Each structure stands twice: as C-alpha cells, then as structure tokens.
Structure 1
C-alpha cells in the first residue's frame, strides 16, 4: 500500500485548533498562540528558540534496543567526549533514571524537560520507557515529559503516551519515498522478522505518518527531526517538510548528517559527507515558508544534561547521585521560584520587543529609500540570552542574521575551545584557526572579551570583532551593530556593489 499524501487543503489542525501554518515558536509567533499551546512551548528549550537560552533539559538512557538500522547511526557507550545522538556513558534502569532526574532537577532548577531518546528507540523498549514515565509523573509532576522515536511502532503507543500527559513527541522522518528510504535504512524489524530495502522503508514511512496523524488528533505537539544527507535526501526534504506541515506537525528540525569516519557509522566508513553550514541554512530556509523551523538543535547525546550546547552529565553519574541527599518537595518550591523569575524576565523582554516593533533600521538621510543586504554575525554566549562569553572560552558560536526585517537566529557553529590553560602553542593555534574557519560567512563576532591575537586574525579574515556589548541582550546588540554598519557607510550602495562583485 502506497502512502496517501494529503493535499494542502486537507491539512488537519494542530493541537487546540492552532493550524500548522499559524503556529510557531519564534518570539513574534509565540504571542499569537493559544494559552494552552504557549504554556507547553514557552519553557521547553527544544520547542522554543528563546527558551533554550534560559531552560535546561536532560535525557535518560533507559532504552537500549532499536527496531531499525540507520546508515548514520552507531549506538555507543562510554564516549564522554562524543556529542551526538545514540551515545551514552551509563545505561539506566527506570529506578535509576527517576533518581537521576530528581537529582538533576534539584541541582539545576532551570531544568524543565525530561526526554527519553535512546540510545535505541524508546518505543522499542516500551516497558522500560513507560515505567520511567509512570514513576516521574507521580514523583516529579513539575517536569515536562518527552519522547523521541523513529515512529515504527508509534501508532500502537499513542494512547499510552497520552495517558501519561506527554505533550511533546519527536519523530525522526527522513523521507516519504521508499526509494529514498532504502538508501537510508538497510532494515527494519517488523512483526518478528527482518525486512529490507524498499519494502522496509515503505512500512516505516506508513507507520510514521499514521503515528503523526494520531498524535495531532490527541492534541500532542509533534516535532519532526530530519537528517540532511547530501545527495540522498537533500532535495527530497522540501517535500517531507510540506507533508508533515500539512499533517499538523508543530515544528520541523532539519539537522546536519554527522558522518566522521571515527564514529563507525556506515555513512562515515563509506565516505558520505555531511552538509556545509551554507547548505544546511539554504535547505532550512527553503523548508520554512510558514512552517516552524527549529534551528537551535544540538543533536544531543542520549544522556545529555544541562542547557542546550552544554553537557553536565559527568556531575550526575550513578555513584555521585547515590551520595546526594535530595528533598524533592523542597526542590520543587525552589524550582517554582526560579521558573517564575525566568518567566517574568521573558515577559518583560516581550513587552520591550513589542514597543520596539517596527524599528528596524535608522531613519533619516542615511537609510532613506535604501534596502540593505542581510549580515551574518556570530555571538559568544553561555546562556541567558545575553553576550556573556569570552571569545577564547567558546565551544560554539550562535549565528544571527540582521536585516531590514529585524534579527533572526540562523544556527550554531561548533568550535574547539581556544583558551585552555594547559594547551600547547600548536594546539591553541590550531583551535584558533578552526574557530575562524567555522565563522566563515560572518562579518562580525560579538563577545564579552577577546585577546589581541584573535582580534587581529579575525580582522585579517574579514570578520569584525566586537566586545562592546558585554552582558547586553543578543538580538538588541546584533541590531545595534547592524545599524552602526549602515550609519558608517559599510553597507552603502558602493559596498553593496563591491560585495556583489566578490
């Protein structure tokens, strides 16, 4: 049986009557969401780009088995320095997972979300997964519960997911065409037998689409993850995005393939390359339209702990948790105070944003009747939505685009930390060169501090370092720098012509 694709005018509504085309998780769109949806999204770091600056998440690795094989996946253990899906240091029982969750929530009060995402597929391990959810629903009711799945057995578990008040489900959907799927999935395990090729892909696709429809009908928010594999599904993902939007998905997250040979995946061994930053951004832009795109994903480990972009898992190993004395009732009171403070800060920022709405570029003779090209800028931040990190301490930079339409988040660029006390000179030089390469395409980098050596090398690379906006809100600082570029003539008609010639 072939997949029955919906037409645009057949698209069902998402949860609570919010259509897929109307919903969104960006700052501007949040204010238009129904209260019930906004409540689900506003403190979820994966569903809201703004929330990821303030709120933390964690994953518990209780699901070791998987029912499909992906060419980009290799589930690994004890890889503390490797950050990608499927990697864990400790496999947990449900009892251990509950203890760890409560320990993390008590020590990181801004943690709002607990997800089960592996190292296999949570719904291929239903007993372990749902026992964990049952316990946490009763013992830690202030934590949002999420699950991430390949979708093969999703339809048979939708009722159970809804029963445990799981409001967020992520489905990895890389294709809707079995021809494409056969290049990504060598086999699935279905009805007690291994199925290969297009037949396997066809079953997986049908189950994913059926599960998506059932979740939306239950009012559960669905995020769709897709791995961008150049030459395999890059163009096809535009169709995928259109279809999942029509069927009511809340958010689409197009992620780059991780295919380094050392990870031991089929794609890595066979030399399949990952996408460039430009290719990823172009595809995300092509898929966006009125579909909500997630651009702040960090492709987290299956046991990640902390803010997106950081991993504090080593602080919460089983032996350390056993030594902790956790009063979770008291911790919940502290967490409520912290969450309220963050929410008040975000509300204040939204009011300020609304007051400044429409103020995009300076008025007067400098900007009159001119349309200025967009500019990419990199930002060093350790969280909180402000510029608060030294250039040399960054392990990633957030990239924003400033234009006459305002500021939008583009994505992140991972780098090796430049300033480490015991680095040898050669290692520091290599890390610095790597950071500058990672910032290709950016015209400015905003940080709290920066040394003389990287300052000069950045300027040589055509990237303007800027330390003048330390502790300032990111989007306001980016727009201020953009306005300065316009006012100084760096984006005048002559420079536009030179840029086009280059």
Structure 2
C-alpha cells in the first residue's frame, strides 16, 4: 500500500503502520498453533480449503485478527426448544446467541449489510444465526442471501442451524454457493438429549422426551453427512453443560470427526437466572474456564477444535469480541444505499501484505525460542490486550476481554479468551472492576498491553501478575515468545511473577 492518506470506509489513515493500529472502529487508538483447522495456515491444508477459510473469522483463528462478521436477525422461527435458550428481544447489553435488538425483513437486512460493508472494510462474512433457526425459517434466510449476494457477490454466506430442517434445503445451499454451515450438536445419546431439549417440532408433529431427541439426533447426523458429501465445510458447535454432557462431548468430538466435520467448537453454557432460561432458573451452572479447557484438551487428536469463539449475538457486527451493531440500527441506515467495493478491496490487499510480515516475524521468534529454551521447560500462559490485527494494540484499562496464549519451545498457541468489565470508565479506574479482572486472570502470570497506569500495574503485581507495555503495537506471537525467553533467561528472584 502506497504512502499517503488512505480511506477505507470510515477509516482514514496515513500509512500501513497507522492502518495496523486503526482497524477496529471508534476505540482504535492506541498463528500458528496446534495443527490446522482454526489455527492453521496455508501450509496446513490444501490450497482450495485454505482459500475458503482464510478470510472467515469463525473458521480461521488467523482470520479473526483481520476480518469481521455480520449476523442479520431475519429468522425468528424455531423448531426446537433448548433448555439453555431464551430468545429475548431488545437486550442490547447481552452478548449471547439468540439475542437481538431488531428483527429484520430480508429487504431491511440487505440495506443494512450494504451500509455496514461501506463503513467496515473488514467485513468478509454474512451469517444468519436466528434468532430462531435459519434452516427452519428458510424462506426469509434464502431471500436475504439472494438480495445481498446480488449486490456484494464476493461476501461469504454462512448459516447456523440445529440441523432438524436442514436436509430439506441441501440443494438450495449448494446452488447458492453457501460453503460454510454451523451445526449445533450437543449429544449423540437421546437420553442425554432429553435433558437438554424439552421438545421439537418435526413433520407436523410436536415430539417430547427421548423420542424427540432420537429424531433430532438422526436428522443432525443426516445434515452433517449431506453437507460433507456436497463439499460444504461444517463447524459443529457443542454447548458444554456440566453434569449432563461434559464427558459425553469426547464421544461427540470423535463422531463428528469421523463424519468429516471441519471444526468442533465446544462452548461454555451461559447460565444466568436473569436470562430466563430453564437451566438458568433451575440452577444449572456453566463450566469454569478450567473445566472448559480440560474438555477441549481431552478432545485434542479428534476433530480440530475452535477456541476463539465469542458466542455471538444473532445480530452481531464487527470483529469477534466486538459488537458495533448499535451503530447500524435501522433508524441509522439510509433508505437508499449503494455498495462501494473499493474499501473492502483495499483492506484485503493490506491484509495480504500484513500476513506475510507477521508470518515471517512469527517464524523468526519460534526459531529463537527453540534455540534458547530447552524443550522440557514448562509452558507459560500470557494474556494479551488487543483490538485485532494480530497486534498488542489496546490499553489495559479499555480491555473487556483478554486473549490467552500458551508458549513453550514448540511455539506460541492461542488457547482461549477471558472476559471481564473494562477497568477504566469515564477516564478513571474502577477498583471493583480491577478486582474482577484479577480474578479473571487467575493462573495467568503475565499480561501484555499497549499501555497501563502505575496503580493497576502495582495491583496486578501484588496479585502475582506482571504487566508489560514495552511491546506496544508489536505482533502478538513474537512478543509473547520474547517475554517467555526473557523470563527463562532471568534469575528466578528477579521475576515479578
């Protein structure tokens, strides 16, 4: 990208260097892991598959640093009831599946997508995830995709479904070039399913209990088989429910791998009585971060795991971990809007260069770590404050989530993210929120950020967490590796943690 002022949608930056710090909207101021799948790159998969996932933030861990997704809430009808779901309307402060602030017609959705594409050049994917089931409310889903693809032919289309109605639309999916589908599969055993699903509606009948779960299971397996046979990449979502399906998810992981799923995303149950779900109201708890990681780790070697999911709302807009939906409510979207492809094209060109630079930096850092650190040395967990772009580019006080990386002589691996309320509010720190952040970072001895004040730095140190801001705006993986090498080289008595 040449020097001089560059305009990408609402972003105006002077250079590639400035652009890397300006990619996530209003607050933007100041990888390689286990194998392939979500953490893979072009060396880990065939070129055709890489071409399909490289710009999809949900199917590629690398892509989620650079590309945004958008969900449009056009499919409110659902054919099953889940004990963890309550599709409440107008809950803009909640970030969980099924929640929306506006339900749209296909025509409204198309206008909104064009407006977002013009303002957020990172947009690469349009998904329909409800707030009901995209395959059951198929007429609205299909019409939305038709209208959008006519205006933005290069946008990736994907949908999420429980799989019950999806086999009825497999030919339409192929004809519309929908090559990414997410299926929610929480069980193989109908007895376990009966504890999760009170009822389903199928073939003009309402079914309950084990019979309902048996039919749902059979249709989900049929959906997975049909999608794989037609060359559609499938991500399987599973909600981890302690005491109900936690151990069973290892079997689910093995089976979806056997049937050809591309990724398996094991997500924590969100269980809060305020949400009004059956599980929330009856006291069913969600898993701890350690319990979630234990199940994910136990599934290593099975279906490839996605670990960077944010359990997005059904109307989410922006990078993963970010929701700019309130900037694009229908009252703010013009009645007439024309699509301008220039910003998105320029963004993709910049990302292509940035990816090469980042991969070279990661390779150099990995080589240095292998040379300086013995293979038997214990790994280190490091939290990172970032707004995207694969860089450490966020002030500690502004972070509402922390990306957790694990590093040892084998390299740097993204393992999960942890959420907490941001420490700074209205320009001042909140001690109660800082205490929450410290609890959130339990077991993580280092945090990297673009900047941090003396007071929170001291409080973190008192809790055994070293805050480092000397790697501001560096690539994440090389910075994490450098910190690891420095800690291994330093005498134990000189370490903060």
TM-score by length of 2: 0.90
**DSSP-derived class of the 2:150 partner:** helix
Conserved 8 A contact 1:22-1:290: no
Q: 2:314 aligns with which of 275, 299, 302?
A: 302
Cα separation, 2, equivalents of 1:25 and 1:391: 27
Report deviation, 1:167.
0.9
Q: Deviations over 1:153-178 (max 9, x none)?
A: 11111111111000100000001110
- Is residue 324 of structure 2 the alignment partner of residue 312 of structure 1? yes
What is residue 339 of structure 1 aligned with on the other side? 348
- Is residue 378 of structure 2 the alignment partner of residue 349 of structure 1? no
Conserved 8 A contact 1:149-1:172: yes
What is residue 125 of structure 1 aligned with on the other side? 137
List alignment gaps of at least 5 residues for structure 2.
1-33
Q: 1:400 aligns with which of 405, 411, 415?
A: 405
**DSSP-derived class of the 1:123 partner:** coil
**DSSP-derived class of the 2:214 partner:** helix
CA RMSD of aligned residues (A): 1.9
Q: Deviations over 1:52-87 (max 9, x none)?
A: 111001000000110000000000111111110000
What is residue 37 of structure 2 aligned with on the other side? 24
**DSSP-derived class of the 2:417 partner:** strand
Q: 1:373 aligns with which of 366, 369, 378?
A: 378
Conserved 8 A contact 2:90-2:101: yes
Cα separation, 1, equivalents of 2:178 and 2:184: 17
- Is residue 205 of structure 2 the alignment partner of residue 174 of structure 1? no
Task: Map 1:414-429; keep pairs closer than 5 Å.
Answer: 414-421=419-426, 428-429=430-431
Task: Quickly say closer, same or farther: Cα 1:23–1:309, change in 2 above 3 A.
Answer: closer
Task: Map 1:108-147; keep pairs closer than 5 Å.
Answer: 108-147=120-159
**DSSP-derived class of the 1:124 partner:** coil
Conserved 8 A contact 1:23-1:250: no
Q: 1:52 aligns with which of 42, 64, 89?
A: 64
- Is residue 40 of structure 2 the alignment partner of residue 35 of structure 1? no
What is residue 447 of structure 2 aligned with on the other side? 445
List alignment gaps of at least 5 residues for structure 1.
1-20
Q: Deviations over 1:18-63 (max 9, x none)?
A: xxx9852324x53232221111100100001111111001000000
**DSSP-derived class of the 2:424 partner:** coil
Instruction: Count residues with an aligned counterpart.
Output: 463
Report deviation, 1:182.
0.5
What is residue 327 of structure 1 aligned with on the other side? 338
Cα separation, 2, equivalents of 1:384 and 1:414: 19
Task: Map 1:53-132; keep pairs closer than 5 Å.
Answer: 53-132=65-144
Cα separation, 1, equivalents of 2:365 and 2:91: 46
| 168-177 vs 336-345, which moves further | 336-345
Q: Deviations over 1:383-433 (max 9, x none)?
A: 11100111111010000011121110011111101111177x7xx111111
Conserved 8 A contact 2:100-2:131: yes
**DSSP-derived class of the 2:52 partner:** helix
Cα separation, 2, equivalents of 1:269 and 1:288: 33
* Stretches (4+) displaced over 2 A: 21-25, 347-363, 489-492
Conserved 8 A contact 1:361-1:483: no
**DSSP-derived class of the 1:342 partner:** helix
- Is residue 463 of structure 2 the alignment partner of residue 461 of structure 1? yes
What is residue 473 of structure 1 aligned with on the other side? 475
What is residue 300 of structure 2 aligned with on the other side? 288
Conserved 8 A contact 2:58-2:309: yes
Conserved 8 A contact 1:251-1:291: yes
Conserved 8 A contact 2:365-2:482: no
Q: 1:410 aligns with which of 412, 415, 418?
A: 415
Conserved 8 A contact 1:64-1:118: yes
Conserved 8 A contact 1:174-1:227: yes
Conserved 8 A contact 2:384-2:449: yes
Task: Quickly say closer, same or farther: Cα 1:481–1:351, change in 2 above 3 A.
Answer: closer
TM-score by length of 1: 0.89
- Is residue 253 of structure 2 the alignment partner of residue 241 of structure 1? yes
